[in-house]
Amino acid sequence: MAFSNRTTERLARGEVALCMATRLARTAEIAMIADSCGFDAFFIDMEHCTISLDDAAQICVAALPVGVTPLVRIAGHHFEDAARLLDTGALGIICPNVSTRAEAESFVRACRFPPLGERSVAGAGALQGYRATPLAEVNRQGNAATLLIAMLEMPEGIANADAIAAVPGIDVLLIGSNDLCTAMGIPGELKSPKLQAAYESTAKACKAHGKHLGVGGIRADVEHVAALVKLGARFVIAGSGVQYLMKSARDEVTALRKATT
């Protein structure tokens, strides 16, 4: 039997899936930490850190028996990296800055087995626990377990949300709130009517095509997140390992300074 994808299962039930980001981790413990904290998934942020492909793969493999979903955000549209990560344990890929239907289709071609895509077949691997598995079943399991998340980070992507959502094989349209705000000339204005309109139009596109809305970059405002969940968001990026470490360290220093002065 193949390992299951907790996040896709939650999304299929209409539940909210919570995901944390990691840029610091280079060892497998991060999978157990994310699971222990109650996250459904974590993503290795290869777009904004220097983690190697090998380290990312080792972390993904370690996550499979733990049960938390290992995702990777690749650096740009380098889909050869995506395919190798899927072969070696990742259960999903986050693709940054998808702005057109053609880009979404290229993403799917690289990461889905036929008939949805053109991903090269490597045979039974990490997803199957390296158990002997008929090739047809390997391909079926790979397509079923793989979560493809297209990030909309530019106004063009929002304008094309309906066309992107219509692409078979795309599961989630994830709005990168901070990049989108920056591109719209309103950096940091996470409650701007412009951003709200982007959420609403993308939510409508997702609903029309049976896809899931994702939101990132607003985890500090729980009430805002809750409002977006009511709008239809089901994949929610929470904080990162950097943010959690810094918050905990600041709180500790504050407490110790207070106790020792």
Residues classed as catalytic: 48
Beta strand 17-22 with 212-216: parallel, antiparallel or unpaired?
unpaired
How many whole angstroms from its chain centre is CA 72? 7
Helix/strand/coil (H/E/C) assignment for every residue in the chain = CCCCCHHHHHHHCCCCEEEEEECCCCCCHHHHHHHHCCCCEEEEECCCCCCCHHHHHHHHHHHHHHCCEEEEECCCCCHHHHHHHHHCCCCEEEECCCCCHHHHHHHHHHHCCCCCCCCCCCCCCHHHCCCCCCHHHHHHHHHHHCEEEEEECCHHHHHCHHHHHCCCCCCEEEEEHHHHHHHCCCCCCCCCHHHHHHHHHHHHHHHHHCCEEEEECCCCCHHHHHHHHHHCEEEEEEEEHHHHHHHHHHHHHHHHHHHCC
Question: Which residue type does 128 have?
Answer: Q
How far is residue 5's CA from residue 20's CA, in Å, rounded to a whole number? 16
How far is residue 121's CA from residue 107's CA, in Å, rounded to a whole number? 16
Sole residue written with tokens 């020792």: 260
